[in-house]
Amino acid sequence: MLNKYARAFFTRVLTPFAAFLLRRGVSPDAVTLIGTAGVVAGALVFFPRGEFFWGTITITLFVFSDLVDGNMARQAGVSSRWGAFLDSTLDRVADAAIFGGLALWYAGSGHDNVLCAVAIFCLASGQVVSYTKARGEAIGLPVAVNGLVERAERLVITLVAAGLSGLQTFGVPSWIGVLLPIALWVVAAGSLVTLVQRVVTVRREAAEADAEAHMPEGGAA
């Protein structure tokens, strides 16, 4: 849901910036690569040290590249299969860095193996959720389902909670730190539900497609 409405809003907001970059000769692929590098750096430099506020700020500044590069490609009329592939692939890299950075914190200075495992589950389930849709579409199925917690929801819930938890650095009471563990559990549970939704949808669509393929010409008597 967030992916549908938030993307449309930010696309309109970022259109002038995308046009500015095009006038400066910047390519959409360059924005994709730079944006991913910034997210990975923010996640793996700040999160393992428990610097959640500054990590979130850095990641947020770069994560909008996911909207800017596509906007640039459409404005320039250079949308391509390669661009879509690169964007989708690097999205997985960025997501892995975010949850990997959190897992490193809990495995180290955070001293919480359970939350480390939850962060790893969020990482893995997010990758599998994306794979189920890609694989279903690759075998010719529409995968017509809006999952409970898709990429936009995973990022917003996790980054907002991480950023707020990081406010402890500025003297905010320590109880606010509980928001990040809660967010990880919510994302883990939501991702599991979304995975089941997609698997069930693919199974149904595959059964319908197979039945139609084996139906005698002219339909049933």
Q: Which sequence positions are flagged as catalytic?
A: 91
What's the CA gap between 209 and 22, in Å, rounded?
43
Where do we find the tokens 């690569």?
Answer: 33
Residues at the annotated binding site for Mg(2+)? 66, 69, 87, 91
Largest interatomic CA distance in the chain: 75
Q: How is residue 169 written in tokens?
A: 């650095």
Length of the chain: 221
Q: Cβ-count burial of 220 within 10 angstroms (0-12 exposed, 13-18 middle, 19+ buried)?
A: exposed
CA distance 25 to 76: 11
To the nearest 10°, report the CA torsion of 11, 13, 16, 19: -20
Query: From the annotation, which residues make up the binding site for a CDP-1,2-diacyl-sn-glycerol?
Result: 29-32, 70, 74, 80
Distance CA 1, CA 216 (A): 39
* Binding site, annotated residues: 29-32, 66, 69-70, 74, 80, 87, 91
Place of tokens 């991702």: 191
Does the CA dihedral 188-189-190-193 come out positive or negative? positive
> Using CA atoms, how far apart are residues 84 and 38, in angstroms rounded to an integer?
19
